[in-house]
Amino acid sequence: MDSQLKASLRNLHTALESHGPMDEELQDLLLQLDRDIKQLLEQRAEDGEAPQTTTYGLAERSQELSAQFAAKHPTLEPTLRELTRILGNMGI
């Protein structure tokens, strides 16, 4: 499942790079989510599982960002929705 999450993050980065400029607020929220997910993956690799304190809110924040993207950047929203689905399947 971690490999799917990493692939989804790569797809999101690729889509963002090809999309062009976006508003600063969404960009900051995506960067924070990206950092938190990467931290989660690192901790899972070290510990074999993720502490609940690290995972709190990742799926919810991803879902909120997906809704914002649906309104402002509809071509990018499916990629973020896929990320949300993977986080949910991981129990995050």
The per-residue pLDDT for range 45-66, each reduced to its tens digit, is 777 654 554 555 777 888 888 8
Q: What are phi and psi of 28, to 5 degrees?
A: -65, -40
Please tell me whether residue 10 adopts helix, strand or coil conformation: helix
pTM of the predicted protein model? 0.64
Residue ranges of domains in the chain? 2-89
The upper half-sphere exposure of residue 25, i.e. CA atoms within 13 Å in the direction of its Cβ, equals: 5
pLDDT band at 67 (very low <50, low <70, confident <90, very high): confident
